[in-house]
Amino acid sequence: MGLYKMFTLLGKSTRAAGSAVLHRQYCTPPVVNIFDRNVKRLQRERAAKREDVELYDYIKEEVGYRLADRIFDIKRQFTNAVDLGAGRGYVTNHVLGETVQKLTAIDLSPAMLSQIKGSPGLDFSVQEMDEERFQFEADSLDLVVSSLSMHWINDLPACFRAVNRALKPDGVFIGAMFGGETLYELRSSLQLAEQERKGGLAPHVSPFTQIRDVGMLLNRGGFTMLTIDTDELVIGYPSMFELMHDLQGMAENNAAFNRPLHVGRDTLMAAAAIYKDMYARKEEGVSATFQIIFFVGWKPCASQPQPAERGSATVSLKDIGKVMTPKSTGCKS
């Protein structure tokens, strides 16, 4: 009954001057905060202050280098760029000064930002800013790049809209984020162990965005000419415990509000045994999968290629084979 009344209020009609005028009000669903940003900031600060912090950069360095290479593939010099969620400079340290004139690296953690070195000839600066509160002047940037940071953002559509607003027309947004298949081995092992020991499940591994949702979210954010692809990094570890230790060193440990604060020793030992039994490598140790979703989106501009008008085609699809197959030009003997 309460639900019926709510929809009646949303779709109520107001009579004025003898005619019925319908006033429809659309409800925006509330943002559900899954991740605790304060905890994520503390995790990054703690990871950045480790003496051996470089040992845990192998995944983020690899992905950051690949993103910097994609920037180089765009034959254009960018005047003003932002590295969104820069971390320790995983992209900034590989961007060339010939490609980007000025770059601003932003991150939630000041300790991470203080360790960015940049590349020779690159004019860069750092700014402490929460990725969820991305605020730059409208039409002020021509490049935004983000590497393995946006999977911790609660309101991803709002972040995409903020990036789109800050970009100039024909500006480009290049990014990479962990996909839904990331750490499926660890997730399933912990779930099976906890189901056996406790009779229930708890979210030990944070949720990740599925590849099918990234394109939809970018379109909703106002981007066009999307390019989305995935890659998988399969890395070997001696056991599940070394994997969890490295995740903590990367500041990629769980930061969900509903995460369990304590896991029993018996559950961890059972999960490690299940992990080894189900996901053992041919050599020693176990494997862990990191799915990386790469995407490129452009802010609309009149100079971009536009689709032809409907019905303007001059060749039927049934004749496409004749068009595609070249005619023989050889001489008959």
Enclosing domain of residue 116: 37-301
Percent of the chain with pLDDT over 90: 64
pLDDT of residue 256: 81
The answer to whether the CB of 168 falls within 8 A of the CB of 139 is yes
Residue 67 located in a structural domain? yes
pLDDT given for residue 326 in this prediction = 62
Task: Establish if 207 belongs to a structural domain.
Answer: yes
Nearest residue to 165 via CA among 193, 190, 195, 144: 144
pLDDT in tens, 70-97: 999 998 999 999 999 999 999 999 999 8
At 315 the pLDDT is 78
> Which CATH number characterizes residue 76's domain?
3.40.50.150
Does 322 fall in a domain? no
**Residue 313 in domain:** no
Number of domains in the chain: 1
Among 10-24, 101-115, 123-137, 271-285, where is mean pLDDT lowest? 10-24
Please check the confidence at residue 13 and state whether its pLDDT lies above 70.
no
Residue 224 falls within a domain, yes or no?
A: yes
- Give dist(CA 300, CA 306) in Å, integer: 10
Greater pLDDT, 171 or 207:
171
- Long-range contacts at 26-31 (CB < 8 A, ≥ 24 apart): 31/154, 31/155, 31/158
| pLDDT tens digits, one per residue of 275-292 | 999 999 988 899 999 999
Share of the chain above pLDDT 70, in %: 86
Q: How far is residue 231's CA from residue 62's CA, in Å, rounded to a whole number? A: 12
64 or 262: which leads in pLDDT = 64
Q: How confident is the model at residue 206 (pLDDT cuts 50, 70, 90)?
A: confident
Q: Kindly indicate the confidence band of residue 202, based on its pLDDT and cuts at 50, 70 and 90.
A: low
Query: Which residues sit opposite 83 in a β-bridge?
Result: 105, 145
Lowest mean pLDDT segment, chosen from 30-34, 61-65, 148-152, 223-227: 30-34
Query: Is residue 24 one of the residues assigned to a domain?
Result: no
Q: Round to whole Å and give the CA distance between 215 and 294.
A: 11
Question: Domain for residue 265, yes or no?
Answer: yes
Q: Is 125 helix (H, G, I), strand (E, B) or coil?
A: strand
Q: Please give the pLDDT value at position 29.
A: 56
pLDDT tops 60 at residue 4? no
Question: What's the residue count for the chain?
Answer: 333
Which residue is listed with tokens 């590849």?
A: 211
- Answer whether residue 156 is part of any domain: yes
Query: Could you report the per-residue pLDDT of 214-271, keeping only the tens digit for each?
Result: 999 999 999 999 999 999 999 999 999 999 999 999 999 888 877 777 778 888 899 9
